[in-house]
Every structure is written in structure tokens, then in C-alpha cells.
Chain A
């Protein structure tokens, strides 16, 4: 496989950044990792994953859709859309990489979301395999192999070198653009690292979590389960889980009056909120139990029902560490599991 020494990462990033905007996961002042635009001197984080997922690049938290201006009685519609610049996201983990496949199913199916497509077409996803999974990881439950990431191009580290391989045409174009820095390398040490990672993955506390009792056909038994009352009772309805989740995709459309025109924009919404899908008569889900149930039913039952068995979760573990009251999809799955 093609490789480059890890000591030459700065050179690699400089070469990529010369042609396109490059984003890498990097450490912040407070220690957390986040995706930022690469500048000379910025180092790749050693942390397992970023705090916010990579869905921001294709589905940002707020996005302007259209502007309006009043001129007397005429409304002028101003289309602010423009072709997005080419960019590369480097270092995306296998779980986040799978989330793009899930989001594609939502935004790229008819009718195609032009804002999402614009970004998706111009972005190249370069993934990085994991070697030190955390106890909160459970990507394996959803058929994701943390040692064989998806994405346009995939990378592995064996401690000394960075190995890289293209997975499709876009990825091949990317690899070709930096081929002058790469050389053929022997993967013996890497194979050992992969084997060791696989062994740790099998020993993870959540390794045995299974989706066998979930899926499109299991709607009635899970919907009517008595466990929801207990599971949802301490839910604060805050929306943290939704916003850190790489696959949550609900959004609201709002108008903002700037004082000299209207900006119509979309922003992330959470089905846990009390005014979610509020209609003329109010919110159809009046209790926190119903809203809590909705989120997990969507990920475990409704989404696979509509998408050929693909679940709406990638096992990244962010909801496990970020929920203020430590409720998460694992606890829900374990409570509902039909033995």
C-alpha cells in the first residue's frame, strides 16, 4: 500500500492545502478535539474522536436558504446560493464516515437537497482507522469495522507510517494529487496493529450489543413496550444527544427579520424539543415520553424500515458521554431487547 512517514504529516497537509481547503481534527485550548481548517503548524489530534461530528461539513447547524427584500408591494427573492469550494476532510473516523451514507439516504434521495448536494459533491472524505477504541464505542453493532473505514480514501497508522488507499474515483483523484509524497510500503506491521485492534474491539464492554431484535418489522412490540416510562423519566428534553449525533438530521426552517430584509434559514432541530413539528393545533407528541420514544424508534425501527435495514446509529458513543443525565441508545436497546 502507498504510505508516508508520520513525521512528514505537516508536509502532506501542506501539499493538500495548496490545492484545496483542508480540515483536520485538532486539539483546542481546552483539550477537546474539533475539526478546524488546517494552517501550518496545526497538528493532528491524538484523541479518538472529535466532540462534534463531521456532519457539520455537509449539513451545517445553520444555513441560509434564501433572502427576501420588500420593495413597495413587491417581494424580491434573492438566491444566495453559490458553488461550494473544493475541500478535504482528513481524519474522519469509521463511525462518522458511515454517518455520511445514512445522511445521503435522506438528503440525496428525491427530491434532492441542493444545499447538501453542493457540499457533498465538493468534499473529499479521507478516513482514519481506529487503533485505540474507547469503552463507549459500539460501531461493530452496526456492521462497521473500525479497522477498515469507508470514505473516499482511507488511512491507517502503524505508529511509524501513514498508509493510504483510495476507495473510489474521488479518492483516487485525491491520492493522485499527493502521489509525489507517497511511496510503496510493506504492511506487515500494520497488519499486526489491525489484528490487535480487532482483539480489543471484541473485548469492548458493548461488543455483544446486537440489533437482532430491532428493525423495520418490530414496530408494534417496541412501540408498546412498558419500558419507555422508566427510560424517559429523567430525560431533560435538552437536545444535546441530537446535536452531537452524527446521524440526526432533523431541521427547522425559520425566517429572521434583519430590519432591512428577511433571511430564511434552516437550523438543526431536535425531536426531543417540545415545539418539534409544531402544527396549528400544537405538537403532536405532547409528553416527553412520546418524544423520547420517537427518537429511538426512528433510529432503531423506522429508519431501517425505510432504508433496507440500515440503522440510524453508527455506534460512535457521543451520546454516552455527553448526555447530562447519562441516558443513551445503549441503555434503550438493552432495556427493550427481546430475549
Chain B
């Protein structure tokens, strides 16, 4: 969590982007000079199904206020079926986090193709605002990692 000069809460968003579609999509939004917030820190993975539920929890532990996973559209995975597994895995994980009382809007899965630069920027803007409304992550926070 950071605070800018206006003392406004700046959420820390971690975005896991698959190398072949969504990372390229992020690149495209950059080349098209479409703005998306600097709060978003992108972690490139070969496929969205590389993302282990432990990564999501670790992101929250290390200070993330929201975590979003971006991958290829179902059916278009570079590795054929990776994102199908992502879909099942993340649905169950997010459902479990909701069951434990963690706010639903802190996590999301979004399918962004390499040609959808605008969608990438729009998604990041929207997600950052949704997390900003929720405030800093307190329920899945590791107090030891909170910056003094």
C-alpha cells in the first residue's frame, strides 16, 4: 500500500500475465499510448496455468491489495489447454477466499488477447478502481511484511 502526495490510498495490484497473449496485449496498450495505472505490477508467466494458488496468497502477503490473472481466451491457449485448468483452479480458489470472508473484488481472472491492448488498459483501470474502493488489504495481510 502506498500513499501519494494527496494522501490518497494507492492500491498495489499484481497482474500475472501470460507471455503469449496478455503480456503482448499489455505491450500493445503501451505502444498505443493507452494509459493504465502505475499501481499495476506485471509478472510475466509462460501460461496462466503456471500460477499456483500459493502465488496469489504470497502476493497478498507481500503487500498486494488486489491480484488479477490475465491469460489467453479459452480455446486459444498457446499450450492448447492451460487456461482451461486456470479457469477451474481460480474459480475454486476465489470461491474459497470468498468463503473465508476475503472481499471478492480483490481477485479477478480476465482473458486478454495479444490484439486487445485497449481491453487490457480498460481492465487494469477498472480493477484498480474497484480495489481502491475496498481500501488496503487487511484480511489477508501479513503484519510482518507491512512497511513501517
Chain B: number of interface residues, binned into ranges? under 10
Q: A259-B63, A260-B147 are in contact. List 6 more A-B contacts (CB 8 A).
A: A258-B142, A258-B145, A259-B62, A259-B145, A260-B145, A263-B144
Contact digits for A99-138, partner B, Cβ 8 Å, 1 yes 0 no: 0000000000000000000000000000000000000000
A-B contact pairs, 10 of them (CB 8 A): A256-B144, A258-B142, A258-B144, A258-B145, A259-B62, A259-B63, A259-B145, A260-B145, A260-B147, A263-B144
Report the minimal beta-carbon distance from B2 to chain A, rounded to whole angstroms: 13
For chain B, what secondary structure do more than half of its interface residues adopt (helix, strand, loop), or is it mixed?
loop
Count of A-B contacts with CB under 8 A? Answer: 10
Chain A: number of interface residues, binned into ranges? under 10
A173 to B21, alpha carbons, bound, how many Å?
Answer: 73
Report the minimal beta-carbon distance from B8 to chain A, rounded to whole angstroms: 22
Contact digits for A299-328, partner B, Cβ 8 Å, 1 yes 0 no: 000000000000000000000000000000
Contact digits for A244-264, partner B, Cβ 8 Å, 1 yes 0 no: 000000000000101110010
Listed from nearest, the 3 A-B pairs whose CB atoms lie closest are A258-B145, A259-B62, A258-B144
For B147, give the chain A residue with the smallest CB separation: A260
Report the minimal beta-carbon distance from B48 to chain A, rounded to whole angstroms: 24
Interface residues of B (CB under 8 A from A): 62-63, 142, 144-145, 147
Chain B residues within 8 Å of A263, by CB: 144
For B144, give the chain A residue with the smallest CB separation: A258
Chain A residues within 8 Å of B144, by CB: 256, 258, 263
Chain A residues within 8 Å of B62, by CB: 259
For B62, give the chain A residue with the smallest CB separation: A259
Chain B residues within 8 Å of A256, by CB: 144
Report the minimal beta-carbon distance from A249 to chain B, rounded to whole angstroms: 24
| Residue among B63, B145, B147 having the largest count of chain A Cβ atoms under 10 Å | B145
Report the minimal beta-carbon distance from B101 to chain A, rounded to whole angstroms: 17
Chain A residues within 8 Å of B147, by CB: 260
Report the minimal beta-carbon distance from B96 to chain A, rounded to whole angstroms: 22
A259 to B144, alpha carbons, bound, how many Å?
Answer: 9
Report the minimal beta-carbon distance from A261 to chain B, rounded to whole angstroms: 9
For A263, give the chain B residue with the smallest CB separation: B144
A256 to B61, alpha carbons, bound, how many Å?
Answer: 12
Chain B residues within 8 Å of A259, by CB: 62-63, 145
A298 to B69, alpha carbons, bound, how many Å?
Answer: 51
A260 to B144, alpha carbons, bound, how many Å?
Answer: 10
A219 to B147, alpha carbons, bound, how many Å?
Answer: 52
A259 to B142, alpha carbons, bound, how many Å?
Answer: 11
Report the minimal beta-carbon distance from A264 to chain B, rounded to whole angstroms: 12
Report the minimal beta-carbon distance from B54 to chain A, rounded to whole angstroms: 15
A259 to B145, alpha carbons, bound, how many Å?
Answer: 6
A263 to B144, alpha carbons, bound, how many Å?
Answer: 8
A257 to B145, alpha carbons, bound, how many Å?
Answer: 8
Chain B residues within 8 Å of A258, by CB: 142, 144-145
Chain A residues within 8 Å of B63, by CB: 259
Report the minimal beta-carbon distance from A61 to chain B, rounded to whole angstroms: 15
A6 to B20, alpha carbons, bound, how many Å?
Answer: 73
Chain A residues within 8 Å of B142, by CB: 258
Report the minimal beta-carbon distance from B63 to chain A, rounded to whole angstroms: 7
